[in-house]
Amino acid sequence: MLTTNPPVQGLANMTTETAATRQITDEQGRTWSAVASGATVAHRRKGARLAFRLDADPATLLVTRIEFNSDVAADQAIRTMSEHELRRRLQWAKTDAGLR
């Protein structure tokens, strides 16, 4: 499911998240939202990183290593990424964060 939300203050380095989100359910039945979290990327430019927010606890934000050159690129990737790829990225983010 694709939704658009107004920008909100993110938890990773107090950055702003962009509007595109997609919901995905993990193997434990928890619902996560894939979002683009604003970040400083290559060459100290403003861009975004793929992140996942646990819907039951919005304070839980897992920021991945996947970087985008702009918010527009991040939004497009989130909208067009396959569900299989989102699940795989979520699993890696949870593993990196020590979550199951």
Alpha-carbon gap, residue 18 to 35, rounded angstroms = 7
Convert the pLDDT of each residue in 4-49 to its tens digit: 444 444 434 334 444 688 999 999 999 999 998 888 887 888 888 8
Convert the pLDDT of each residue in 56-96 to its tens digit: 998 889 999 888 988 889 999 999 999 999 999 999 999 99
Strands 61-68 and 46-54: antiparallel
Alpha-carbon gap, residue 13 to 25, rounded angstroms = 26
Domain boundaries, the chain: 2-97
